Amino acid sequence: METCFLNKLKTQPLWVLVLPPRNLKKHYGSWALVTGPTDGIGKGFAFQLARAGLNLVLVGRNPEKLKDVSDLIQTKYGKTQIKNVVVDFAGDLSEGINRISDAIEGLDVGVLINNVGISYPYARLFCLGCSRGREVQSSIFGSGAAIVIPSDPLYAVYAATKAYIDQFSRCLYVEYKKSGIDVQCQVPLYVATKMASIKRSSFFVPSTDGYARAALRHIGFEPRCTPYWPHTLLWALAYSLPESGVDAWRLRFCLGIRKRGQLKDSRKKE
Protein backbone atom coordinates (compact mmCIF):
# COMPACT_ATOMS: atom_id res chain seq x y z
CA MET A 1 0.00 0.00 0.00
CA GLU A 2 2.78 2.43 0.88
CA THR A 3 4.57 1.80 -2.43
CA CYS A 4 1.34 2.31 -4.40
CA PHE A 5 0.60 5.52 -2.50
CA LEU A 6 4.06 6.95 -3.21
CA ASN A 7 3.97 5.89 -6.86
CA LYS A 8 0.66 7.67 -7.39
CA LEU A 9 1.96 10.81 -5.72
CA LYS A 10 4.88 10.82 -8.16
CA THR A 11 2.47 10.91 -11.10
CA GLN A 12 0.93 14.15 -9.84
CA PRO A 13 3.05 17.21 -10.81
CA LEU A 14 3.52 18.86 -7.42
CA TRP A 15 6.42 20.80 -8.95
CA VAL A 16 3.82 23.18 -10.37
CA LEU A 17 3.27 24.48 -6.83
CA VAL A 18 6.76 25.99 -6.69
CA LEU A 19 6.57 27.63 -10.12
CA PRO A 20 5.20 31.14 -10.57
CA PRO A 21 1.83 31.07 -12.37
CA ARG A 22 1.84 32.04 -16.01
CA ASN A 23 0.97 35.58 -16.97
CA LEU A 24 -2.20 34.54 -18.76
CA LYS A 25 -2.82 37.92 -20.36
CA LYS A 26 0.70 38.06 -21.80
CA HIS A 27 0.84 34.41 -22.81
CA TYR A 28 -2.64 33.79 -24.22
CA GLY A 29 -4.41 37.10 -24.73
CA SER A 30 -6.46 39.71 -22.95
CA TRP A 31 -9.85 37.96 -23.01
CA ALA A 32 -11.11 34.74 -21.42
CA LEU A 33 -14.36 32.91 -22.15
CA VAL A 34 -16.10 31.14 -19.26
CA THR A 35 -19.13 28.88 -19.68
CA GLY A 36 -21.30 28.25 -16.64
CA PRO A 37 -20.02 31.33 -14.74
CA THR A 38 -23.03 32.07 -12.54
CA ASP A 39 -22.32 29.57 -9.77
CA GLY A 40 -19.80 27.13 -8.36
CA ILE A 41 -16.36 26.69 -9.89
CA GLY A 42 -17.27 28.67 -13.00
CA LYS A 43 -18.11 31.72 -10.90
CA GLY A 44 -14.88 31.30 -8.94
CA PHE A 45 -12.92 31.20 -12.20
CA ALA A 46 -14.62 34.33 -13.51
CA PHE A 47 -13.55 36.29 -10.43
CA GLN A 48 -10.00 34.92 -10.44
CA LEU A 49 -9.50 35.62 -14.14
CA ALA A 50 -10.69 39.19 -13.60
CA ARG A 51 -8.27 39.41 -10.68
CA ALA A 52 -5.50 38.31 -13.07
CA GLY A 53 -6.33 41.23 -15.36
CA LEU A 54 -8.27 39.45 -18.10
CA ASN A 55 -11.48 40.69 -19.68
CA LEU A 56 -14.35 38.23 -19.73
CA VAL A 57 -16.91 36.73 -22.06
CA LEU A 58 -19.44 35.07 -19.76
CA VAL A 59 -21.72 32.44 -21.32
CA GLY A 60 -24.78 31.21 -19.43
CA ARG A 61 -28.47 30.52 -19.87
CA ASN A 62 -29.89 32.94 -17.29
CA PRO A 63 -29.54 36.62 -18.25
CA GLU A 64 -30.40 37.85 -14.75
CA LYS A 65 -27.73 35.70 -13.12
CA LEU A 66 -25.19 36.74 -15.76
CA LYS A 67 -25.90 40.39 -15.01
CA ASP A 68 -25.60 39.81 -11.26
CA VAL A 69 -22.20 38.13 -11.65
CA SER A 70 -21.00 40.81 -14.08
CA ASP A 71 -22.02 43.58 -11.70
CA LEU A 72 -20.26 41.90 -8.78
CA ILE A 73 -17.06 41.42 -10.78
CA GLN A 74 -17.03 45.00 -12.05
CA THR A 75 -17.67 46.31 -8.57
CA LYS A 76 -14.55 44.51 -7.37
CA TYR A 77 -12.44 44.81 -10.53
CA GLY A 78 -13.57 48.02 -12.16
CA LYS A 79 -11.27 47.88 -15.18
CA THR A 80 -12.57 44.49 -16.33
CA GLN A 81 -14.52 44.52 -19.58
CA ILE A 82 -17.33 41.96 -19.64
CA LYS A 83 -19.56 40.68 -22.42
CA ASN A 84 -22.51 38.48 -21.46
CA VAL A 85 -23.78 35.88 -23.93
CA VAL A 86 -27.05 34.08 -23.20
CA VAL A 87 -26.90 30.48 -24.44
CA ASP A 88 -28.82 27.43 -23.29
CA PHE A 89 -26.64 24.46 -24.25
CA ALA A 90 -29.61 22.17 -23.75
CA GLY A 91 -31.34 23.95 -26.64
CA ASP A 92 -30.22 24.81 -30.16
CA LEU A 93 -26.45 24.36 -30.07
CA SER A 94 -25.85 25.73 -33.54
CA GLU A 95 -27.62 28.97 -32.70
CA GLY A 96 -25.77 29.18 -29.39
CA ILE A 97 -22.36 28.67 -30.95
CA ASN A 98 -23.13 31.28 -33.60
CA ARG A 99 -24.04 33.70 -30.83
CA ILE A 100 -20.74 33.02 -29.06
CA SER A 101 -18.81 33.40 -32.32
CA ASP A 102 -20.41 36.77 -32.97
CA ALA A 103 -19.63 37.91 -29.42
CA ILE A 104 -15.92 37.05 -29.59
CA GLU A 105 -15.38 38.31 -33.13
CA GLY A 106 -12.34 40.61 -33.08
CA LEU A 107 -11.52 39.90 -29.44
CA ASP A 108 -8.15 38.55 -28.30
CA VAL A 109 -9.69 35.45 -26.68
CA GLY A 110 -7.03 32.98 -25.63
CA VAL A 111 -8.45 31.19 -22.57
CA LEU A 112 -11.56 29.01 -22.46
CA ILE A 113 -12.86 27.64 -19.17
CA ASN A 114 -15.58 25.12 -19.99
CA ASN A 115 -17.96 24.06 -17.22
CA VAL A 116 -20.87 22.81 -19.30
CA GLY A 117 -19.29 19.63 -20.68
CA ILE A 118 -20.07 20.50 -24.30
CA SER A 119 -17.35 20.08 -26.92
CA TYR A 120 -18.67 22.45 -29.57
CA PRO A 121 -17.26 25.74 -28.15
CA TYR A 122 -13.77 24.41 -28.73
CA ALA A 123 -14.01 24.47 -32.51
CA ARG A 124 -14.19 28.26 -32.65
CA LEU A 125 -11.26 28.76 -30.29
CA PHE A 126 -9.16 26.22 -32.17
CA CYS A 127 -9.70 28.20 -35.37
CA LEU A 128 -8.76 31.42 -33.60
CA GLY A 129 -5.58 29.94 -32.18
CA CYS A 130 -4.45 28.41 -35.46
CA SER A 131 -5.19 31.51 -37.53
CA ARG A 132 -3.67 34.20 -35.35
CA GLY A 133 -0.40 32.39 -34.56
CA ARG A 134 -0.88 32.63 -30.82
CA GLU A 135 -1.33 30.00 -28.15
CA VAL A 136 -4.79 29.15 -26.85
CA GLN A 137 -5.60 27.51 -23.52
CA SER A 138 -8.73 25.38 -23.13
CA SER A 139 -9.56 23.94 -19.71
CA ILE A 140 -12.31 21.35 -19.31
CA PHE A 141 -13.56 20.10 -15.95
CA GLY A 142 -13.52 16.41 -15.30
CA SER A 143 -14.38 14.74 -12.03
CA GLY A 144 -12.85 12.40 -9.52
CA ALA A 145 -16.05 10.37 -9.94
CA ALA A 146 -14.72 9.15 -13.27
CA ILE A 147 -10.96 9.18 -12.81
CA VAL A 148 -9.99 8.86 -9.16
CA ILE A 149 -12.45 6.31 -7.79
CA PRO A 150 -13.15 3.00 -9.58
CA SER A 151 -16.94 3.50 -9.65
CA ASP A 152 -19.69 5.98 -8.82
CA PRO A 153 -22.83 3.88 -8.21
CA LEU A 154 -26.22 5.58 -8.64
CA TYR A 155 -24.47 8.29 -10.68
CA ALA A 156 -23.48 6.10 -13.61
CA VAL A 157 -24.41 8.54 -16.39
CA TYR A 158 -22.61 11.42 -14.66
CA ALA A 159 -19.45 9.36 -14.12
CA ALA A 160 -19.51 8.04 -17.70
CA THR A 161 -19.91 11.57 -19.06
CA LYS A 162 -16.93 12.77 -17.05
CA ALA A 163 -14.87 9.81 -18.29
CA TYR A 164 -15.74 10.85 -21.84
CA ILE A 165 -14.62 14.42 -21.09
CA ASP A 166 -11.30 13.18 -19.72
CA GLN A 167 -10.52 11.12 -22.81
CA PHE A 168 -11.89 13.77 -25.15
CA SER A 169 -9.62 16.46 -23.72
CA ARG A 170 -6.58 14.18 -23.72
CA CYS A 171 -7.06 13.37 -27.41
CA LEU A 172 -7.44 17.05 -28.26
CA TYR A 173 -4.29 17.83 -26.29
CA VAL A 174 -2.32 15.38 -28.44
CA GLU A 175 -3.96 16.46 -31.72
CA TYR A 176 -3.60 20.23 -31.29
CA LYS A 177 -0.48 20.69 -29.17
CA LYS A 178 1.69 21.41 -32.22
CA SER A 179 -0.81 24.08 -33.32
CA GLY A 180 -0.19 26.05 -30.14
CA ILE A 181 -3.41 24.96 -28.42
CA ASP A 182 -3.14 23.71 -24.84
CA VAL A 183 -6.04 21.50 -23.79
CA GLN A 184 -6.21 20.55 -20.14
CA CYS A 185 -8.64 18.49 -18.07
CA GLN A 186 -8.78 19.67 -14.47
CA VAL A 187 -10.03 17.11 -11.95
CA PRO A 188 -11.58 18.37 -8.73
CA LEU A 189 -12.59 15.83 -6.11
CA TYR A 190 -14.69 17.86 -3.71
CA VAL A 191 -15.38 21.59 -3.85
CA ALA A 192 -17.72 23.43 -1.49
CA THR A 193 -20.54 25.09 -3.41
CA LYS A 194 -24.04 26.32 -2.65
CA MET A 195 -25.46 23.74 -5.04
CA ALA A 196 -23.53 20.74 -3.73
CA SER A 197 -24.25 18.56 -0.72
CA ILE A 198 -20.93 19.78 0.72
CA LYS A 199 -21.33 23.46 1.59
CA ARG A 200 -18.43 24.25 3.91
CA SER A 201 -14.82 24.56 2.90
CA SER A 202 -12.10 22.67 4.75
CA PHE A 203 -8.58 21.36 4.15
CA PHE A 204 -9.79 18.72 1.69
CA VAL A 205 -12.83 20.66 0.46
CA PRO A 206 -11.79 24.09 -0.87
CA SER A 207 -14.14 26.95 -1.58
CA THR A 208 -14.84 27.67 -5.24
CA ASP A 209 -12.55 30.71 -5.11
CA GLY A 210 -9.83 28.69 -3.39
CA TYR A 211 -10.06 25.98 -6.02
CA ALA A 212 -10.03 28.51 -8.86
CA ARG A 213 -6.90 30.16 -7.47
CA ALA A 214 -5.14 26.80 -7.39
CA ALA A 215 -6.42 25.90 -10.86
CA LEU A 216 -5.04 29.04 -12.49
CA ARG A 217 -1.52 28.04 -11.39
CA HIS A 218 -1.78 24.84 -13.44
CA ILE A 219 -3.00 26.39 -16.68
CA GLY A 220 -0.62 25.74 -19.56
CA PHE A 221 1.21 22.77 -18.06
CA GLU A 222 0.17 19.08 -18.01
CA PRO A 223 -2.87 17.76 -19.96
CA ARG A 224 -4.59 16.45 -16.83
CA CYS A 225 -4.18 17.80 -13.33
CA THR A 226 -5.61 17.91 -9.84
CA PRO A 227 -4.92 21.58 -9.08
CA TYR A 228 -5.81 21.59 -5.38
CA TRP A 229 -2.86 19.70 -3.92
CA PRO A 230 -4.65 18.03 -0.92
CA HIS A 231 -6.78 16.25 -3.53
CA THR A 232 -3.59 14.62 -4.77
CA LEU A 233 -3.26 12.95 -1.37
CA LEU A 234 -6.82 11.63 -1.61
CA TRP A 235 -6.17 10.41 -5.16
CA ALA A 236 -3.06 8.54 -4.07
CA LEU A 237 -4.95 7.02 -1.14
CA ALA A 238 -7.83 5.88 -3.35
CA TYR A 239 -5.39 4.11 -5.70
CA SER A 240 -3.74 2.38 -2.73
CA LEU A 241 -6.94 0.76 -1.44
CA PRO A 242 -8.60 -2.41 -2.80
CA GLU A 243 -11.21 -1.51 -5.42
CA SER A 244 -13.84 -3.71 -3.75
CA GLY A 245 -13.50 -1.71 -0.54
CA VAL A 246 -13.74 1.62 -2.36
CA ASP A 247 -16.78 0.36 -4.31
CA ALA A 248 -18.57 -0.66 -1.09
CA TRP A 249 -17.79 2.67 0.59
CA ARG A 250 -18.91 4.65 -2.44
CA LEU A 251 -22.21 2.76 -2.67
CA ARG A 252 -22.99 3.53 0.99
CA PHE A 253 -21.98 7.16 0.47
CA CYS A 254 -24.17 7.60 -2.63
CA LEU A 255 -27.13 5.86 -0.99
CA GLY A 256 -26.80 8.28 1.91
CA ILE A 257 -26.86 11.27 -0.45
CA ARG A 258 -29.94 9.92 -2.23
CA LYS A 259 -31.80 9.28 1.03
CA ARG A 260 -31.04 12.79 2.27
CA GLY A 261 -32.27 14.21 -1.02
CA GLN A 262 -35.49 12.17 -0.87
CA LEU A 263 -36.07 13.25 2.71
CA LYS A 264 -35.55 16.90 1.78
CA ASP A 265 -38.02 16.57 -1.12
CA SER A 266 -40.64 14.93 1.09
CA ARG A 267 -40.37 17.73 3.64
CA LYS A 268 -40.91 20.33 0.92
CA LYS A 269 -44.11 18.59 -0.17
CA GLU A 270 -45.54 18.54 3.37
Long-range pairs of 10-19 with CB within 8 A, sequence gap ≥ 24: 12/225, 12/226, 12/232, 12/235, 12/236, 13/221, 13/222, 13/225, 14/229, 14/232, 16/217, 16/218, 16/221, 16/222, 16/225, 17/217, 17/229, 19/217
Catalytic residue check, 122: no
> What is the four-CA torsion angle of 78, 80, 86, 87, rounded to 10 degrees?
-140
User: Which one of 77, 120, 122, 158 is the catalytic residue?
Assistant: 158
Active site residues: 158
